Structure 1
Amino acid sequence: MDSISAIAASVRAARKKAGLTQVDLADLAEVSERTVRAIESATGNPSLRAVASVLGVLGLNLTVAR
C-alpha cells in the first residue's frame, strides 16, 4: 500500500470510528465534502492545508519520512 492509500484508509477508519459522516468531517475541518471524498479515495489533488485540517480534526498526525 502506498503512502497516499495509507492516509486515505487511516482517514476513513478514523472518521467512521468517530461516528462522523463525510459531511460532518468536512464541516469540522472547514473543507468541502468533495475534498473529504478525495482524501478518503486517494483521488484528486487536495491541498496539504486541507489534508492537515482533516487529520487534525481526527487527531491524526502526518509524518514526513526521508
Structure 2
Amino acid sequence: MAAIQKIGQLIQQRRDNMRITQKQLAEMADIGINTLYKIETGQANPTLESLQRITDVLGMEITLQVKKV
C-alpha cells in the first residue's frame, strides 16, 4: 500500500473511532471537505500543513523515522 493511501486510511479510522463526520473534521481543521475526502481515499497529495491540522484535531502525531536497513 502506498504511503499516502495508508495515511488516508489511518486518518479515516481515527475519525470514525472518534465519531466525527468528514464535514465536522474539515471544519475543525479548516480545510475543504473535498480535500479531506481525497486525502482519506488516497487521491490527494496533501501538504504537511494540511496533515498537521488534521492530525492536531484527531490527537495524532506525524513522525519521520530513518528506515532500518
Coarse TM-score class (shorter-chain normalised): 0.7 to 0.9
Over aligned residue pairs, what C-alpha RMSD do you find? Answer: 1.1
Over the matched positions of the two proteins, sequence identity in percent amounts to 29
2:11 is aligned with 1:11: yes
Taking structure 2 as the reference length, the TM-score comes to 0.85
Name the count of aligned residue pairs. Answer: 66
- Runs of 5+ unmatched residues, structure 1: none
Unaligned runs of 5+ in 2: none
CA contact (8 A) 1:25 1:54 kept: yes
Question: Is the CA contact (8 Å cut-off) linking 1:35 and 1:50 kept in structure 2?
Answer: no
In structure 2, the partner of 1:34 is 34
Deviation >3 Å, runs of 4+ = none
The answer to which structure has the higher helix fraction is 1
Instruction: Confirm or deny: 8 A CA contact 1:26 1:32 kept in the other structure.
Output: yes
Higher Cα Rg, which structure: 2
- 2:14–2:58 CA contact under 8 A, matched in 1: yes
> Separation in 2 of the partners of 1:41 and 1:64?
22
